[in-house]
């Protein structure tokens, strides 16, 4: 099963192959020339691109970043993470991906800050083995059924 | 692509440059790409039903774990050595393969997907150093998909394949070998054993050694007519390709399959007909999906059933039956009816069966078939129904709509006790993240 969220027009095209066979038999639509593509979460999030990966927030440890358990995060691995972005990281020996705020300290060195203040920030120049895996770009939250 | 642009020379003047991009230990790399805890650990991946080892990471190879070893024989040793064992997870591998090919297709003018883990990339006409582009491809696939690859570049497919072998064998190459210059080609061909040449297996290498051909260079410069006479046109073509004469074209995509097979070992041996019928219905459904996806119709099918043929202590039996269909069809129901009848004909009680298979034959493309005037008419609405079923199953997951004969969680399904999650294709199995 692919992960897809499609706009209405794309949905019609994708889900109903017969729509290609639909013909206007009376008057042509006066809106034809002005027609625009409908909104697509797929396109804006980049879902389906090879560099975009989807994560699920596993617990309430990211509440201070505004992320709730069960939220889905779209992560782009093609972006070079810059300060003030939320980076998905993997620290050596850890079995879990972590979300960190990439920022700079007073000396201009890059720091990775955890949402919880009691977790010490990691200086990326300190020799700690940290892999910056990608940048969190979008969050999808379910607000109700 | 920063360094490469399509040139302006006419096509006949453009030097042919082909790269082979091949993923390193693909199945193991897929597991590692999604599970950070597996970083630098030895990993092996098992075949269907957790039968034997079909993929090893470099660390597992270094431990001397043999390829193809039956899992039950090496299970204890793997545990002692701390090797991570995974059942094959084809939805994950297919998705990562798709990502690799998409990245690649975006970086070069044309690609030819050769298998799940390797593709030819056409570098012809691109300006700049091919090795630089090779390194860009390698770096991007590692960064975007987490997939390590080797890139071999040369002027023919066989030379590119050999360059890829060199890229993997010698880490100092950085995983990229440019073998476009004749001087470099000669240097590698003189040291490459002939059994590392694409299409030359170990058996053939033994035969070649009796003719004093032990290196790729010796094969390349052997008399072509003698090679053709002794081994056939394929080996002659290989020798010519090693000399830089392109004999294998660059195809844009695979032709529709001439036959479609669906077959899997049962998770446990089956004696009764009822569960074998269920399995057959499941395999026919899958084969029919493949048939429809390539817009083909099927004119005949072959059903086969067998016990474990390598167990000397159990009674052995294998049989097959071919059925010609009354009219070419892609309707699962029209394929299943004759398939089940054939299965009942070849089934014999008292045996412990390990596998059944369906093979769809006599395929023709839709629109190319002249209907038989005297054949029974197809079921009304068949095309639309199959389209709707395929669409729903594509959206909601395979098997969401299926024939009633197929259980949701069959007892005979393949054993995959150590399968990782489908991290990239199922909402309920996504990668997880914490603070």
In tens, the pLDDT along B238-264 reads: 999 999 998 888 875 556 678 999 988
d(CA B189, CA B182): 10
Contact criterion met (CB < 8 Å) for A1 and B394? yes
Contact criterion met (CB < 8 Å) for A53 and B424? yes
Which of A29, A96, A95, A84 shows the shortest CA–CA distance to A58? A96
- The closest CB to that of B435, out of A50, A55, A114, belongs to A114
Which of A71, A39, A7 shows the shortest CA–CA distance to B427? A71
Pull the structure tokens for residue A57: 């927030």
Contact criterion met (CB < 8 Å) for B145 and A77? yes
B205-232 pLDDT, tens digit per residue, is: 999 999 999 999 999 999 999 999 999 8
State which residue of chain A sits closest to B35, comparing Cα positions: A95
pLDDT of B423 > 50? The answer is: yes
pLDDT of B281 > 50? The answer is: yes
Contact criterion met (CB < 8 Å) for A50 and B36? no
Contact criterion met (CB < 8 Å) for A116 and B432? no
pLDDT of A7 > 90? The answer is: no
Q: Catalytic residue numbers of B? A: 118
- The average pLDDT across B375-395 equals 88
- The average pLDDT across A132-143 equals 94
**pLDDT more than 90, % of chain B:** 73
Contacts of A54 in chain B (CB under 8 A): 424, 430-431
Q: What is the mean pLDDT of chain B?
A: 90
State which residue of chain A sits closest to B99, comparing Cα positions: A50
Which ipTM was obtained for this model? 0.82
pLDDT at B4: 44
State which residue of chain B sits closest to A99, comparing Cα positions: B435
DSSP β-bridge partners for residue B149: B23
- The closest CB to that of A15, out of B36, B391, B426, belongs to B391
Mutate to test the interface with A, among B31, B33, B35, B36 (most CBs of A within 10 A): B36
- The closest CB to that of A88, out of B387, B396, B433, belongs to B433
| pLDDT band of A26, cuts 50, 70, 90 | confident
State which residue of chain A sits closest to B392, comparing Cα positions: A15
d(CA B192, CA B235): 17
pTM: 0.81
pLDDT of A13 > 80? The answer is: no
State which residue of chain B sits closest to A77, comparing Cα positions: B144
- CA angle B85/B87/B91 to nearest 5° reads 135
A83-127 pLDDT, tens digit per residue, is: 999 999 998 888 899 999 999 988 888 999 999 989 989 988 877
pLDDT at B356: 94
d(CA B54, CA A49): 29
Mutate to test the interface with A, among B99, B390, B435 (most CBs of A within 10 A): B435
**pLDDT more than 70, % of chain B:** 96
pLDDT at B2: 40
Separation in Å, CA of B149 to nearest CA in chain A: 16
Separation in Å, CA of B188 to nearest CA in chain A: 34
Contacts of A110 (CB under 8 A, 6+ apart): A83, A102, A103, A104, A123, A124, A125
Task: Give the number of A-B residue pairs with CB atoms closer than 8 Å.
Answer: 97
| pLDDT band of B37, cuts 50, 70, 90 | confident
pLDDT at B64: 94
Separation in Å, CA of A122 to nearest CA in chain B: 13
- CA angle A13/A18/A24 to nearest 5° reads 90
B390-409 pLDDT, tens digit per residue, is: 988 887 778 889 999 999 88
Is residue B254 exposed (0-12), middle (13-18) or buried (19+ Cβ within 10 Å)? Answer: exposed
Contacts of A88 in chain B (CB under 8 A): 433
Separation in Å, CA of A18 to nearest CA in chain B: 9
With a CB-CB cutoff of 8 Å, which residues 19-48 of chain A face chain B? none
| pLDDT band of B169, cuts 50, 70, 90 | very high
| pLDDT band of A18, cuts 50, 70, 90 | low
Separation in Å, CA of B51 to nearest CA in chain A: 27
pLDDT at B367: 78
- The closest CB to that of B36, out of A15, A59, A94, belongs to A94
pLDDT at B3: 41
pLDDT at B254: 56
Q: Is B398 touching A (CB cutoff 8 A)?
A: yes
Q: Is B379 touching A (CB cutoff 8 A)?
A: no
pLDDT at B242: 95
- The closest CB to that of A78, out of B144, B146, B425, belongs to B144
d(CA B95, CA B424): 7
Q: Is B387 touching A (CB cutoff 8 A)?
A: yes
pLDDT at A10: 56
- The average pLDDT across B320-339 equals 94
Start-to-end Cα distance in chain A: 22
Contact criterion met (CB < 8 Å) for A17 and B387? yes
pLDDT of A17 > 60? The answer is: no
3-state secondary structure of A108: coil
d(CA B32, CA A22): 47
DSSP β-bridge partners for residue A49: none
d(CA B263, CA B249): 32
pLDDT at B21: 97
Pull the structure tokens for residue B83: 């090797």
- The average pLDDT across A128-132 equals 86
Q: Is A78 touching B (CB cutoff 8 A)?
A: yes
The dihedral through the CA atoms of B216, B139, B112, B283 has a sign that is positive
Burial B226-237 (b: 16+ CB within 10 A, else e): ebeeebeeebbb
Q: Is A137 touching B (CB cutoff 8 A)?
A: no
d(CA B311, CA B435): 53
Contact criterion met (CB < 8 Å) for A61 and B394? no
Contacts of B319 (CB under 8 A, 6+ apart): B304, B305, B306, B346, B348
pLDDT at B5: 42
Separation in Å, CA of B270 to nearest CA in chain A: 30
């Amino acid at each position: 099963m692919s992960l897809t969220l499609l706009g209405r027009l794309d949905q019609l095209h994708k889900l109903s192959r017969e729509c290609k066979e639909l013909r206007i038999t009376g008057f042509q639509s006066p809106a034809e020339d002005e027609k625009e593509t409908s909104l697509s979460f797929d396109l804006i999030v980049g879902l389906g691109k090879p560099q975009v990966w989807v994560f699920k927030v596993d617990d309430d440890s990211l509440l201070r970043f505004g992320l709730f358990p069960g939220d889905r995060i779209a992560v782009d691995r093609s972006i070079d993470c810059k300060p003030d972005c939320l980076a998905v990281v993997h620290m050596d020996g850890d079995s879990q991906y972590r979300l960190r705020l990439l920022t700079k300290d007073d000396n201009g060195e890059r720091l990775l800050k955890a949402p919880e203040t009691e977790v010490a920030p990691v200086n990326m120049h300190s020799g700690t083995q940290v892999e910056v895996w990608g940048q969190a770009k979008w969050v999808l939250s379910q607000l109700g059924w | 692509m920063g360094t490469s642009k399509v040139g302006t020379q006419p096509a006949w003047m453009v030097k042919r440059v082909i790269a082979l991009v091949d993923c390193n230990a693909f199945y193991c790399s897929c597991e590692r790409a999604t599970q950070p805890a597996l970083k630098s650990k030895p990993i092996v991946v098992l075949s269907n039903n957790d039968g034997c080892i079909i993929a090893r990471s470099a660390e597992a190879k270094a431990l001397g774990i043999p390829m193809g070893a039956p899992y039950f024989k090496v299970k204890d040793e793997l545990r002692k050595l701390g090797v991570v064992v995974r059942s094959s997870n084809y939805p994950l591998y297919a998705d990562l393969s798709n990502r690799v090919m998409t990245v690649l297709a975006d970086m070069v003018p044309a690609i030819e997907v050769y298998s799940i883990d390797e593709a030819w990339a056409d570098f012809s006409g691109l300006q700049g150093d091919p090795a630089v582009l090779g390194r860009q491809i390698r770096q991007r696939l590692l960064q975007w998909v987490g997939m390590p690859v080797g890139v071999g570049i040369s002027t023919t497919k066989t030379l590119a394949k050999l360059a890829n072998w060199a890229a993997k064998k010698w880490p100092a190459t950085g995983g990229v070998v440019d073998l476009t210059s004749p001087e470099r080609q000669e240097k590698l061909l003189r040291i490459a054993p002939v059994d590392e040449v694409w299409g030359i297996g170990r058996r053939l290498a033994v035969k070649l050694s009796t003719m004093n051909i032990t290196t790729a260079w010796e094969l390349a410069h052997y008399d072509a007519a003698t090679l053709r006479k002794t081994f056939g046109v394929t080996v002659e073509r290989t020798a010519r390709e090693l000399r830089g004469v392109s004999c294998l074209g660059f195809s844009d995509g695979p032709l529709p399959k001439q036959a479609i097979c669906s077959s899997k070992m049962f998770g446990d041996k089956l004696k009764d007909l009822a569960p074998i019928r269920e399995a057959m219905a499941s395999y026919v459904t899958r084969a029919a999906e493949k048939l429809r996806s390539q817009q083909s119709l099927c004119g005949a099918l072959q059903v086969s059933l067998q016990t474990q043929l390598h167990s000397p202590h159990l009674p052995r039996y294998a049989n097959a039956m071919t059925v010609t269909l009354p009219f070419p069809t892609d309707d699962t129901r029209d394929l299943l009816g004759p398939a089940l009848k054939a299965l009942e004909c070849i089934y014999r009680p008292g045996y412990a069966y390990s596998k059944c298979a369906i093979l769809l034959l006599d395929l023709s493309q839709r629109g190319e078939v002249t209907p038989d005037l005297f054949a029974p008419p197809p079921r009304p609405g068949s095309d639309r129904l199959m389209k709707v079923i395929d669409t729903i199953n594509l959206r909601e997951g395979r098997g969401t709509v299926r024939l009633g004969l197929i259980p949701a969680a069959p007892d005979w399904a393949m054993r995959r006790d150590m399968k990782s999650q489908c991290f990239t294709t199922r909402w309920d199995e996504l990668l997880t993240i914490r603070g």
